[in-house]
Amino acid sequence: MRRRYSVPGVFAAAAAVAVFLTGCPRGSGANPWASAGNKPKVLVSFAPLYSFAANVAGPDADVKCLLTTAGPHTHGDATPPQIDLARGCDVFFINGLGLEDEADGIATKLQKVAANPKWNVVNLGSKIDPKWLHEGEPEHGHGKEEHADHDHDMDPHVWLSIRCAKAMVAGIRDELKRLDPAHADGYDRRAAAYLKKLDRLEADGKAMLANKQEKTILAFHDSLGYFGETYGLKIAGSIEVSPGKEPTTDKLNQIIRLAQEHKARVIAVEPQFPKHTSAEAIRNALRGLKDNPVEAEFAEVDPLETCDEAELSADLYEAVMRKNLAALEKALR
């Protein structure tokens, strides 16, 4: 899977066309929910939530994903097909925690243009025990000045924590039971089975890394804190504060010092950014240290913020997480 974040301008251009033609944003005219019939129409913001919802929904609800190749950090403006999805859905599951629900977030934009009289957003981040949440980099995805009124920003990458993922699955189950009580038993049964799968995923991952002497890695961007906590890894630092934005020289030097201090040899890189320019600079700098050269190497770890539309499936989350764990098992000593 070699994926890139889509350029937000493409989405902005598509929305601009709709505004030019009609004076206000509108959909494409097609009904993406035509085949759903009387089933609950479930929209999720991005790929991990699709896997969670699809596992709970089974045949009793129709699940669609808003964002695929464009992730929640870089989505741009709402497109006509996205407006159509939002206009017809019975529920829109979002991650929250500042990912899609900021003033310029996709959920906020869709609420303004979808004209859905039953607009129903379920913020799955609010289903997570606040004690489990981490503070994130204040610059993450936005400038500091945009968050001046916040005491701090929470790291939104909660889907990479198994216990947080389980809380999100439970939140999806409860909302589908509320929307469709006639199929409550099916939602309960499928959610219980998927929660057991997630328990196995956590146990298997911990077993894969249990005998590793190395427990500290560098992250490509500030996304792996919950993942590291789940599997007993420490994140020495992140190379990019915002996805797609190259770090400054000072930031690179800071990361090199952190890698030396924490003996972090493995650099987690992301398939969405196949040209690891800044990561390669750090790897080469570590290898070139005169006093204590480090045999730094890459491990591809996908934070599951994007996916190709053809990859969407109920099994995507588990498959990618297991692939991430296998890459780290191979790289760590």
Note whether 106 and 132 are same-domain residues. Answer: yes
Would you say residue 288 has pLDDT above 80?
no
Q: Considering the domain boundaries, does residue 5 fall inside one?
A: no
Most confident of 24-33, 113-122, 151-160, 247-256: 113-122
Note whether 193 and 260 are same-domain residues. Answer: no
| pLDDT mean across residues, the chain | 85
Note whether 167 and 297 are same-domain residues. Answer: no
SS3 of residue 220 by DSSP: strand
What confidence tens digit (pLDDT) does each residue in 169-192 have? Answer: 999 999 999 999 999 999 999 999
What is the value of pTM for the model shown?
0.85
Q: Which structural domain, as residue segments, surrounds residue 157?
A: 11-29+38-204
Count of structural domains within the chain = 2
Which residues are CB-neighbours of 22 under 8 A, at least 6 positions away? none
Point out the domain boundary residue: 177, 204, 231.
Answer: 204
Whole-number pLDDT of residue 318? 98
CATH of the domain at 298: 3.40.50.1980
How far apart are the C-alpha atoms of 132 and 271, rounded to whole Å?
27
Note whether 248 and 200 are same-domain residues. Answer: no
Q: Considering the domain boundaries, does residue 4 fall inside one?
A: no
Point out the domain boundary residue: 151, 179, 204.
Answer: 204
Point out the domain boundary residue: 174, 204, 234.
Answer: 204
**Among 141-145, 150-154, 283-287, 296-300, which stretch is predicted with the lowest mean pLDDT?**
141-145
Note whether 152 and 51 are same-domain residues. Answer: yes
> Burial letters for 246-265: b for 16+ Cβ neighbours within 10 Å, e otherwise?
ebeeebbeebbebbbebebb
Q: What percent of the chain has pLDDT over 70?
A: 82
Which residues are CB-neighbours of 90 under 8 A, at least 6 positions away? 40, 41, 42, 118, 120, 179
Note whether 169 and 21 are same-domain residues. Answer: yes
What confidence tens digit (pLDDT) does each residue in 234-285 have? Answer: 999 888 766 667 778 888 888 888 888 888 899 999 988 766 677 777 788 7
Note whether 76 and 129 are same-domain residues. Answer: yes
Note whether 153 and 53 are same-domain residues. Answer: yes
How far apart are the C-alpha atoms of 155 and 248, rounded to whole Å?
22
Q: Determine the Cα angle at 172 with ends 34 and 304, to 5°.
A: 85
Q: Considering the domain boundaries, does residue 6 fall inside one?
A: no
Q: Considering the domain boundaries, does residue 1 fall inside one?
A: no
- Bridge partners (DSSP) of residue 212 are none
